[in-house]
Amino acid sequence: MIVVDETGFLPFAGKIAVSDKAGRFCIFDDNEGIRTEVPVNVRDAGYDETSGGAVYILDFSTLSDPGIYHVESEEGDRSVSFAVQPDAYKTLKNALLKFFYFQRCGFELEEKYAGPYARKACHPGIVRIYRSDDTIDVHKGWHDAGDYGRYVSAGAVAAAHLLYAYELFPKAFEDGVNIPESGNGLPDVLNECRYELEFIKDMQSSDGGVHHKATSEVFCGYIMPHEDDKDMLAFPVTSLSTADFAACLCIASRVYEKYDPAFAKECLSKAHRAGGWLLSQEDNTDFHNPPGVITGEYTDTSDRDERMWAYAELLKTDLSVDEKHAYAKKLREMLDSYKESHPHADGRSVDDGFGWQDVSSLAILSVLSDTKGIFDRALRDEMEGMLYERADAFADMQKTGWPVSMKREDFVWGSNMIVSNRAAILAIAAMNLAGRIGGGGSVPGDPDKIKTRIASYEEAYANQIHYILGMNAMDVSYVTGFGEHAVGDPHNRVTVADGIEKAIPGELTGGPCTLFADEEIAKRLDHDTSPQKCYLDDHRSYSTNEIAVYWNSTLLFSVAYALKD
Ligand code: G3I
Ligand code: 9MR
Ligand code: ZN
């Protein structure tokens, strides 16, 4: 088996494929029907426990002429065809962004934007507060995933990925994606993100705390969103949602200021109220589904990282002297407490802090991107140290075995998010080393050594993306519609119910999961299957083949890095 990134390569980027057998390999030009002279260097990377086999890394980086190619071995193994082209990531980036439009709740998707996936508006915005007769008005927002729930922490993290991607890589978002707001003067990434922010900001309760989620009591069946008539309920306030809400709305107030000052101001005042709630409520008001409630839980044993992110983002807004003191003190406490509970990895895997459950890297990004000297030097240095510690750990994981920063224990539910989050950390670390985060400038140290280190982060980053797009032991691209072996049967209620054979393109599915957490995979696969192969392209396998907004958003962030210049 020879596996390769099915979306293809930029002409001057590094190019590798993976074979599970040794041998001699060559590159075929599919258009010309001839074997090229491009050398293929083979490196024996040893046995890999995540794939359960040998790993040979085939490097053909000198191939740079645009075209369609495949890799072949003397024994007759061949890879799928892939392209070398300057636009390799542009179409993908746009599809990953358009995905969010297809997730819109309470909105009619018209044919001129949605094509065959047009559908009626769904789910009324007035929802009843769980165990009360009161209601709140929460229109808009994205359906979380293959279900139709809307969850604040998951949604705020996804929205933040989009906003940070726009702040760091604005050039990547210059073209539009044909959504109703296109052409109104805002980049579409901000138009689309606004749709979610409208929902998030309405989830705040009168005391400043934020409801955890708006979902029905139990998941509906495989029906279209507008056919789901179960009552929507707003569940209790949690510190997790309140902190993620505060951080996300602080970023929004900064980003939308230039386009819509009134909206920016509203986001800010809501974020400040959430900040006040956080200061008055020291405990982690964790969420668990009450008996009888069967929808997503998004539970978390610690809210240190969420609060750290919120306090960092709040400190970047206009505050009184007293507020500044209070948030700075709390930020320091949260960082110390977070570090205490995350001792050195000692060979175990390392948290990336870029997902819905651990947002510590979002806090790091928030601090490092400050241009106004808001944070004290010591805190900034510690945060930077954490970033590099993570990036180094992820780069090290690629030194032997499969060229992806994943250990056996990382193949949990949403493993593709972990792959993509780690790509994002490597990208952020490379960019920070290049002096391009937080006002830019030169980085102290030997310039050659810095260059080598940036190159090593970027190489590891690229391999993470290659894994998602086909260079994996399943020999599939995990993004619908992208690649010869792209996955096609995701766990998305819309896709099962809409009667259209082809899934909506641009959806990243969760990926291999060794938890055997749905009946389908538990029934069909041996429990000693290698981690990378614990996957079914079958909508019944929701623990391996669902889609989710914060999975697409992290991949969008990572792919946008490749388009930053
Ligand atoms: O982090 C722990 C790790 O420390 C531990 O060793 C390992 C072994 O069990 O588990 C890891 O936690 C897992 C966690 O995902 C990792 O993020 C949990 O077991 C696993 O159950 C959990 O799965 C979550 C899943 O919901 C079930 O709760 C997914 O992350 C989460 O993305 C998914 O989210 C669902 C929503 O609830 C509902 N909507 C769809 C959405 C996507 O599937
Ligand atoms: O569709 C649901 C998916 O969004 C969730 O991630 C998953 C785990 O909470 O649950 C799915 O719903 C399943 C339910 O939990 C059990 N019965 C089958 C449902 C899928 O059809
Ligand atoms: Zn809906």
pLDDT digits (tens, 9 = 90+) for 70-83: 999 999 999 999 99
Same-domain status, 106 and 81: no
Which ligand ends up closest to the CA of 223? Answer: 2
Which pair of tokens denotes residue 77? 């193994």
Residues 112 and 82 in one domain: no
Please tell me whether residues 445 and 348 are part of one structural domain: yes
Q: Which atom of ligand 2 lies nearest, measured to the CA of 222?
A: 21
In a domain, 551, yes or no: yes
| Interval 226-248: pLDDT, tens | 999 999 999 999 999 999 999 99
Q: Is 212 a catalytic residue?
A: no
Is 18:3 a contact under the CB 8 Å cutoff? yes
Cβ neighbours for 528, distance < 8 A, ≥ 6 positions apart: none
Residues 219 and 310 in one domain: yes
Residues 153 and 389: their CA atoms lie apart, in Å, by 26
The count of other CB atoms within 10 Å of the CB of residue 70 is 18
Portion of the chain with pLDDT greater than 90, in percent: 97
Question: What pLDDT shows up at residue 347?
Answer: 79
User: Averaged over 318-330, what is the pLDDT?
Assistant: 98
- Nearby residues of 404 by Cβ (< 8 Å), 6 or more positions away: 50, 397, 398, 419, 463, 464, 467, 471, 472
Answer whether residue 506 is part of any domain: no
482 in any annotated domain: no
Distance 219 CA to ligand 2 centre (A): 7
Count of domains in the chain? 2
Is residue 73 located within the same domain as residue 106?
A: no
Q: What percent of the chain has pLDDT over 70?
A: 99
Residues with CB under 5 A from ligand 3 (ion): 105, 122-123, 225
Statement to judge: residues 130 and 9 lie in one domain: no
Q: What is the DSSP string of 464-501?
A: HHHHHTT-STT--BSBTTSSTTB----B-HHHHHS--S
Q: Residue 157: what pLDDT?
A: 99
Residues in the chain: 565
The residues, any chain, with a CB within 8 Å of residue 130's CB and separated by 6 or more, are: 233, 234, 235, 236, 290
For tokens 């086999």, the residue is: 53
Note the pLDDT tens digit of each residue in 292-311: 999 999 999 999 999 999 99
Report which secondary-structure segment, H or E, holds 410. none
pLDDT digits over 420-461, tens only?
A: 999 999 999 999 999 999 966 667 889 999 999 999 999 999
Q: Are residues 111 and 78 in the same domain?
A: no
Measured in angstroms, how far is the CA atom of residue 222 from the centroid of ligand 3? 14
The answer on 107 and 66 residing in a single domain is: no
Q: What is the pLDDT of residue 446?
A: 92
Q: Average pLDDT, whole number, for the chain?
A: 97
The verdict on the CB of residue 53 being under 6 Å from ligand 1 is no
Return the closest-CA partner of residue 96 out of 527, 506, 513: 506
Asked if residue 365 and residue 330 are part of one domain, the reply reads yes
Choice among 51-65, 332-346, 471-485 with the minimum mean pLDDT: 332-346
Q: 């001839």: which residue's tokens? A: 34
Report whether residue 464 contacts ligand 1, using a CB cutoff of 6 Å: no
Q: How many CB atoms lie within 10 A of CB 292?
A: 7
The bound ligand whose nearest atom lies closest to the alpha carbon of 300 is: 1
Backbone angles phi, psi at 69, to 5 degrees: -140, 170
Residue 343 has pLDDT above 90, yes or no: no
Token pair belonging to 505: 């393109």
Predicted confidence at residue 441, as pLDDT, reads 63
Average pLDDT over residues 249-262: 98
Report the pLDDT averaged over residues 118-128.
96
pLDDT at residue 440, rounded to an integer: 65
Query: Is 237 part of any domain?
Result: yes
Give first-to-last CA distance, the chain, whole Å: 35
Residue that terminates a domain, selected from 38, 58, 88: 88
Bridge-based pairing of strands 34-35 and 25-29 is antiparallel
Position 365 pLDDT exceeds 80: yes
Residue 346's pLDDT band (boundaries 50, 70, 90)?
A: confident
Tell me if residue 301 falls in helix, strand or coil: coil
Task: Give me the domain span that covers residue 554.
Answer: 90-472+547-562
pLDDT of residue 58: 98
State the virtual CA torsion across 240, 244, 247, 251 in degrees, nearest 10: 180
Q: Are both 70 and 145 inside the same structural domain?
A: no
- What is the mean predicted confidence (pLDDT) over 77-92? 95
- Per-residue pLDDT averaged across 338-358, rounded? 90
Asked if residue 298 belongs to a domain, the reply is yes
Tell me which residue of 120, 104, 105 sits closest to 227, measured CA to CA: 120
* Final residue belonging to a domain, choices 69, 88, 107: 88
pTM assigned to the model? 0.98
pLDDT in tens, 481-505: 999 999 999 999 999 999 999 999 9
Token pair, residue 438, equals 């937080």
Cα angle, residue 205 at apex, residues 201 and 207 outer, rounded to 5°: 120
What integer is the mean pLDDT of 335-345?
A: 91
Indicate if 232 and 312 belong to the same structural domain: yes
Same-domain check for residues 94 and 81: no
